[in-house]
């Protein structure tokens, strides 16, 4: 793996911090070198987007990130004709630009996009590595420096928003989860500036609340929310106020559930 990285261009800006939990960095490097598309699976706020930013910077690759949503169509990714100064001109979308120029195109929460997006991605994620543009008549061949990365949260899947096997099996996949307690404490402390001793009870509370996922909560406390909470405390807010604002209120709108979560927090954090 080190041999493959010798000729890799290094970025000028700082590389975003990332704490690996396994061999995901080596797998990303190999997928990029062998021109393989990559699928990241894991809960909200566990570090998938930070991981992609870290690896793109580490490899010296431009990164284009698209946050997928219900109205995102294939045309939003490939491009469309627009009126400019009285003329109709073709404007590339983020996927087309990255295919032309090289780099990493990251589609976050791919299952949220409209179904026609999968049709566009399929020829890019097999041995053809092409992007047909029906409106311009072009067929773009992806350069060796192009990589497609997508992510989704399996916990939110349902019959209407599930990644089809025909799409999943076109990707090399990495499963993400929240870090072990000692590693998560170190990450939150580094990101927020708060002392690890003060971060430890916050992480313990987060693990307790994550155990409620699927019962009283749709989703557990993310590492992102932990960092927000620690930042509030580091800025002078009391721990109870910070926990409520960053770890309780974002999780639920139900008064009964909120009250129960606050009771758990009060019992664990003094």
Tens digit of each residue's pLDDT, the chain (270 residues)? 333 443 444 444 589 999 999 999 999 999 999 999 999 999 989 999 999 999 999 999 999 999 999 999 999 999 999 988 888 999 999 999 999 999 999 999 999 999 999 999 999 999 999 999 999 999 999 999 999 999 999 876 554 567 889 999 999 999 999 999 999 999 999 999 999 999 999 999 999 999 988 777 888 899 999 999 999 999 999 999 999 999 999 999 999 999 999 999 999 987
Structure tokens at 229: 């909470």
C-alpha dist (Å) from residue 150 to 158, 228, 236: 18, 25, 38
Residue 242 CA to residue 196 CA, distance in Å, equals: 16
Question: What is the pTM assigned to this prediction?
Answer: 0.88
Residue 251 CA to residue 254 CA, distance in Å, equals: 9
Residue 16 CA to residue 10 CA, distance in Å, equals: 13
Read off the DSSP letter of residue 88: E
Calculate the CA 33 to chain-centre distance. 21
CB atoms closer than 10 angstroms to residue 200 = 16
Query: So what's the pLDDT on residue 214?
Result: 72
């Amino acid at each position: 793996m080190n041999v493959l990285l010798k000729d890799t261009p290094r970025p000028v800006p700082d590389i975003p911090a990332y704490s690996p939990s396994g061999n995901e960095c080596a797998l990303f490097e190999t997928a990029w070198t062998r021109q393989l598309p990559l699928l990241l699976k894991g809960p909200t706020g566990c570090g998938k987007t930070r991981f992609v930013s870290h690896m793109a910077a580490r490899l010296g690759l431009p990164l284009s990130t698209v946050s997928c949503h219900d109205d995102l169509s294939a045309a939003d990714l490939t491009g469309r004709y627009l009126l400019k100064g009285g003329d109709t001109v073709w404007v590339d979308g983020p996927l087309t630009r990255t295919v032309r120029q090289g780099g990493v195109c990251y589609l976050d929460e791919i299952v949220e996009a409209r179904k026609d997006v999968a049709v566009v991605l399929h020829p890019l994620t097999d041995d053809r590595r092409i992007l047909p543009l029906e409106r311009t008549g072009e067929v773009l061949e992806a350069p060796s420096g192009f990589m497609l990365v997508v992510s989704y949260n399996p916990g939110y899947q349902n019959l209407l928003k599930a990644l089809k096997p025909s799409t999943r099996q076109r990707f090399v996949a990495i499963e993400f989860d929240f870090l072990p307690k000692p590693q998560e404490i170190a990450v939150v402390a580094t990101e927020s500036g708060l002392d690890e001793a003060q971060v430890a009870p916050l992480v313990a509370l987060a693990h307790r609340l994550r155990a409620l996922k699927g019962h009283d909560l749709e989703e557990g406390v993310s590492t992102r929310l932990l960092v927000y909470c620690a930042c509030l405390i580091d800025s002078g807010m009391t721990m109870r106020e910070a926990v409520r604002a960053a770890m309780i209120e974002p999780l639920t709108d139900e008064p009964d559930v909120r009250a129960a979560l606050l009771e758990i927090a009060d019992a664990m954090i003094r």
